[in-house]
Amino acid sequence: MDNSTLLNEVMAKAQTWLDGNYNEETKSDIRRMMDAEDKTELIESFYRDLEFGTGGLRGIMGAGTNRMNIYTVGAATQGLSNYLISQFPDVPQISVVIGHDCRNNSRLFAEVSANIFSANGIKVYLFEDLRPTPEASFAIRHLGCQSGIILTASHNPKEYNGYKAYWNDGAQMIAPHDTNVIDEVMNIKVDDIKFEGRPELIEIIGEEIDKAFIEAIKTLSLSPEAIKRNSDLKIVYTPIHGTGVKLIPRALKEYGFTNIINVPEQDVVSGNFPTVVSPNPEEPAALDMAVKKAIETNADIVMASDPDADRLGIAIKNDKGEWILVNGNQTALLFVYYLITRWKELGRLQGKEYIVKTIVTTEIIKDIADKNGVEMYDCYTGFKWIAAVIRENEGLKTYIGGGEESYGFLPEDFCRDKDAVSSCTLMAEITAWAKDNGKTLYELLQDIYLEYGYGKEKGISVVRKGKSGAEEIAKIMSDYRTTPPVEISGSKVKVIKDYKTLKMKNVATGEESDLDFPATSNVLQYFTEDGTKISVRPSGTEPKIKFYIEVRGEMNSRAEYDAADAAANAKVEAVRASMGV
């Protein structure tokens, strides 16, 4: 399509909004874009429809079909309302929970959604103010609701907002509900949206849910005596301007910790995230102010949650007294090691316990589970899949915990999404337990590697933009399937897993077996004889193909940690060269 044709289509689409049942503020913004000499903003706003995908909506805020605004949010809510009414005909009063984060317009979108749900006869429990995403998941279960939504764009830049939909188990929707809701939303026109709410069906919630959630989190404690002996542990915590400020310091105090050190500038709730370039705890810069505070106060640990408080980033001191960031795989390792160790020491392992990780998360977690007789499930990236495993095992097996390499962990099943509130309290407990045993968190991490072997993980994204880029990414995946690598960095490939065909191949014997997964996914994995694992998948939301590399090494003492890390880094680079990335 040439530029003139695209512009004509965009102008025609924008005109339908000017002629349609949209408010004057929206129409004024559209006229401004249409009258501008540079039509880039208009094209970006209307060249496509913002899709309600399996994870909901996420996009830049503004007027237009490709933007987050009250009409795209309204269509999503009306479509979800229609689906809930069709799915729960025998429920006397269908109900939903609505939560939101600190982002600009999040409260507006939450209130618009509350009005639409109530206009459709659905009872709404609307949080009085911003709250962590996991608390909203908890509230859906606690209040016995059929669904719920969260207005958040997680750790995206400030221009973005998003809309996540949950089912009655408090988890994000999977098949068939996700695709069925998408179908409903796609059929909604602006005149179908019932914007006039029924106030009698909207109930404001807050403190009573906060209290119930924190009381549930307190039941997770496995080492209360260690907490008592180390109650003055110096914990620096930052919410990075987000929802964690509402609950995490309080949860830590009620857990028994008395020395919570704030970063005042980042306690300021703001959708503009004024002190950071990106409010993402994966980014080192996002923790700079907290680390500075830790240096000033000689703290024991730094913890940061992202804007909707579902992911946790931490920093710890190494053996040289330097503050270092702990990556998502290492964080998951600390959680799993501690949980299984303490469950075992407390006599709680009865043979029916299990943990969950995503397929791109470190395999050391499986080694820990296997050695201790705990079952481990692999699932696709995203906590909706971890929640699906919990749902399948409900009443049959006992969930210990689950996590992913992208800084998310869930140590409980009364919530069904990754949870930085419980993760912060548990990580503080792990720090206290380690200290009680004469160790720092850094030494505890080293000891895990000593027992299970050293591991190093690296994620690499190769960006290929536009139509040609998409074709190149598709060809890369096709080439890997038709001509898979025989060896990687000098080590023979022994197993290939293809989640698009759900087949696993033993390369030496040629034998194939089925992968037990609930759906297909365009992901390839290669496992080599020396313990290397490479996962390859196109991004579902960005023009890039992602490579996840994990290599293994040896450590015989803590003193060998730096050498093991250097050897692993060299191995990662050799794997990159071998894979051509």
User: What CATH number corresponds to the domain at position 568?
Assistant: 3.30.310
Question: Strand pairing partners for 492?
Answer: 487
pLDDT of residue 44: 92
User: What CATH number corresponds to the domain at position 55?
Assistant: 3.40.120.10
Q: In sequence order, what DSSP letters do the residues of 294-311 get, joined into one string? A: HHHHT-SEEEEE-TTS--
pLDDT of residue 2: 63
pLDDT of residue 38: 94
How does pLDDT run across 143-156, given as a tens digit for each residue? 999 999 999 998 88
Shared-domain flag, residues 383 and 531: no
pLDDT of residue 116: 98
Residues 6+ apart with CB under 8 A from 400: 336, 339, 340, 343, 353, 354, 355, 374, 411
Whether 28 is a known active-site residue: answer: no
Buried b (16+ CB within 10 A) or exposed e, 401-430: bbbbbbbbbbbbbbbbbbbbbbbbbbbbbb
List C-alpha distances in Å: 522 to 214, 535, 546, 548: 39, 11, 11, 14
Shared-domain flag, residues 75 and 144: yes
Q: Cα separation of 505 and 494, whole Å?
A: 8
Expressed as residue numbers, the domain containing 296 is 226-452
Beta-carbon count within 10 A of 504 CB: 18
Shared-domain flag, residues 443 and 458: no
pLDDT of residue 1: 52
Residues 6+ apart with CB under 8 A from 540: none
Using an 8 Å Cβ cutoff, are 102 and 243 in contact? yes
* Residue that is last in its domain, among 205, 234, 251: 205
Measured at the alpha carbon of residue 507, what is the angle toward residues 504 and 512, in degrees to the nearest 5?
A: 35
Shared-domain flag, residues 66 and 116: yes
Q: Give the pLDDT mean for 131-148.
A: 98
Shared-domain flag, residues 165 and 244: no
Domain count, the chain: 3
Shared-domain flag, residues 420 and 271: yes
* Token reading at 430: 């792990």
Shared-domain flag, residues 137 and 260: no
Using an 8 Å Cβ cutoff, are 181 and 53 in contact? no
Residue 262 in any domain: the answer is: yes
Using an 8 Å Cβ cutoff, are 362 and 550 in contact? yes
Q: Torsion over CA of 572, 574, 577 and 581, rounded to 10 degrees?
A: 0
Say if strands 95-100 and 147-151 run parallel, antiparallel, or are unpaired: parallel
* Residue that is last in its domain, among 171, 205, 239: 205
Shared-domain flag, residues 192 and 250: no
How does pLDDT run across 38-90, given as a tens digit for each residue? 999 999 999 988 888 777 899 999 999 999 999 999 999 999 999 999 999 99
- Closest C-alpha to 499, from 555, 554, 538, 556: 538
Q: Compute the half-sphere exposure of residue 407: CA atoms within 13 Å on the CB side of its CA.
A: 23
Measured at the alpha carbon of residue 458, what is the angle toward residues 455 and 459, in degrees to the nearest 5?
A: 145
* Token reading at 346: 């407390």
Shared-domain flag, residues 470 and 433: no
* Residue that is last in its domain, among 416, 434, 452: 452
Q: Cα separation of 270 and 536, whole Å?
A: 36
Q: Cα separation of 190 and 117, whole Å?
A: 15
Q: Cα separation of 19 and 225, whole Å?
A: 67
Q: Cα separation of 474 and 543, whole Å?
A: 11
pLDDT of residue 468: 80
- Closest C-alpha to 164, from 187, 139, 188, 137: 137
Residue 361 in any domain: the answer is: yes
Q: Cα separation of 515 and 187, whole Å?
A: 35
How does pLDDT run across 171-201, given as a tens digit for each residue? 999 989 999 999 999 999 999 999 999 999 9
* Token reading at 559: 């003193």
Is the predicted pLDDT of residue 465 greater than 70, yes or no? Answer: yes
- 45, 137, 154, 422: which is the annotated catalytic residue? 154
Q: Cα separation of 112 and 105, whole Å?
A: 10
Shared-domain flag, residues 388 and 493: no
Is the predicted pLDDT of residue 541 greater than 80, yes or no? Answer: no
Beta-carbon count within 10 A of 339 CB: 23
Residue type, 491: S
Q: Cα separation of 107 and 127, whole Å?
A: 10
* Token reading at 15: 């005109």
Helix and strand numbers, DSSP H then E, in the chain: 19, 23
Q: Give the pLDDT mean for 108-115.
A: 98
**Mean of the per-residue pLDDT values for the chain?**
95
Q: In sequence order, what DSSP letters do the residues of 187-255 get, joined into one string? A: T--GGG------GGGEEEE-HHHHHHHHHHHHTT-S-HHHHHHTTT--EEEE-TTSGGGGTHHHHHHHH
**pLDDT band per the 50, 70, 90 thresholds, residue 414:** very high
Residue 391 in any domain: the answer is: yes
How does pLDDT run across 221-238, given as a tens digit for each residue? 999 999 999 999 999 999
Using an 8 Å Cβ cutoff, are 131 and 125 in contact? no
Q: Cα separation of 289 and 274, whole Å?
A: 12
Q: Cα separation of 533 and 451, whole Å?
A: 20
Greatest mean pLDDT range, 127-131, 279-283, 465-469: 127-131
pLDDT of residue 539: 81
User: 384 vs 541, which has greater pLDDT?
Assistant: 384
Q: Cα separation of 496 and 340, whole Å?
A: 29
Shared-domain flag, residues 482 and 385: no
Residue 110 in any domain: the answer is: yes
- Closest C-alpha to 127, from 305, 266, 308: 308
Output phi, psi for 60, to 5 deg.
Answer: -70, 145
Is the predicted pLDDT of residue 283 greater than 80, yes or no? Answer: yes
Using an 8 Å Cβ cutoff, are 77 and 149 in contact? yes
Q: 463: left (phi > 0), else alpha (psi -120 to 50), else beta?
A: beta
Residue 497 in any domain: the answer is: yes
Residue 28 in any domain: the answer is: no
Residue 217 in any domain: the answer is: no
Instruction: Establish whether the linkage from the previous residue to 176 is cis, with ω within 30° of 0.
Output: yes
Q: Cα separation of 222 and 204, whole Å?
A: 34
3 state DSSP class of 276:
coil
Q: Cα separation of 353 and 340, whole Å?
A: 9
How does pLDDT run across 29-43, given as a tens digit for each residue? 999 999 999 999 999
| Kind plus residue range of the DSSP H or E element containing 321 | none
List C-alpha distances in Å: 330 to 209, 307, 314, 448, 502: 32, 22, 10, 10, 28
- Look-up of token digits 């390859």: 536
Residues of the chain with pLDDT > 70, as a percent, come to 99
**pLDDT band per the 50, 70, 90 thresholds, residue 251:** very high
How does pLDDT run across 314-333, given as a tens digit for each residue? 999 999 999 999 999 999 99
**pLDDT band per the 50, 70, 90 thresholds, residue 137:** very high
Shared-domain flag, residues 287 and 362: yes
- Look-up of token digits 């077996």: 513
Residue 230 in any domain: the answer is: yes
- Look-up of token digits 């006992």: 398
